[in-house]
């Protein structure tokens, strides 16, 4: 997932800066989309991707950033599209799939979430990472997992032999419906 394309831009002030564009591959769409959205916002062109406005300068900048961050084979497929929004939507459709595929992916993720248990040899950070990854992928597919559900899943999935006293204490002291996921981990 580590490929990066370096884009040199000329800001309004003298000098230049290098921005690293993430490079899309077959397995990193969700992370790529998050990073690209931030990059497009940094360059003040995300609005043109979101709404397909008529500002040619913004559209050209957004198109340049998008084309820099996708493989050549995909450039050939989206090269004839004339707006950054159409390019973004084409990439999204290709990697997120049609609604049925999206729904199937979501169901698979939710089943994985339901089966999730912390392994005996796993650290809290590793387990938290797995929960967060499923939550992020689910959100990218349009389904936010409520924070209270993440908190309950985390506490229920800890091995009881190691953590029963901690879990019991947290359940007695905190209102789990109002406690954030990051707070419970801390």
Q: Are residues 104 and 180 in the same domain?
A: yes
List, for residues 10-53, the tens digit of each pLDDT value: 444 545 556 788 889 877 888 899 999 999 999 999 999 998 88
List, for residues 138-162, the tens digit of each pLDDT value: 988 888 999 889 989 998 998 888 8
Tally of structural domains, the chain? 2
* Res 174 pLDDT > 70: yes
Q: Are residues 180 and 114 in the same domain?
A: yes
> How many residues are present in the chain?
186
**Residue 87 CB partners (closer than 8 Å, separation 6+):** 63, 66, 67, 78, 81
Q: Are residues 73 and 103 in the same domain?
A: no
pTM of the model: 0.55
132: exposed, middle or buried (Cβ count in 10 Å: 0-12, 13-18, 19+): middle
Q: What is the DSSP letter of 13?
A: S
Q: Are residues 159 and 137 in the same domain?
A: yes
Q: Which helix (H) or strand (E) holds 135?
A: helix 124-140
The domain boundary, picked from 61, 96, 131, lies at: 96
């Amino acid at each position: 997932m580590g490929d990066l394309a370096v884009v040199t831009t000329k800001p309004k002030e003298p000098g230049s800066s290098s921005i690293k564009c993430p490079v899309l591959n077959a397995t990193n769409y969700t992370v790529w989309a998050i990073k690209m959205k931030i990059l497009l916002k940094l360059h003040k062109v995300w609005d043109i991707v979101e709404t397909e406005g008529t500002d040619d300068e913004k559209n050209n900048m957004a198109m340049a950033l998008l084309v820099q961050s996708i493989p050549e084979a995909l450039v050939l497929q989206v090269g004839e599209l004339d707006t950054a929004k159409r390019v973004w939507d084409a990439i999204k459709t290709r990697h997120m799939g049609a609604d049925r595929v999206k729904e199937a992916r979501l169901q698979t993720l939710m089943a994985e979430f339901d089966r999730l248990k912390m392994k005996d040899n796993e650290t809290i950070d590793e387990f938290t990472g797995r929960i967060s990854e499923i939550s992020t992928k689910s959100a990218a597919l349009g389904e936010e997992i409520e924070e209270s559900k993440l908190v309950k899943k985390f506490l229920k999935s800890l091995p009881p032999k190691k953590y029963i006293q901690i879990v019991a204490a947290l359940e007695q002291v905190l209102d789990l419906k109002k406690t954030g996921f990051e707070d419970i981990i801390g």
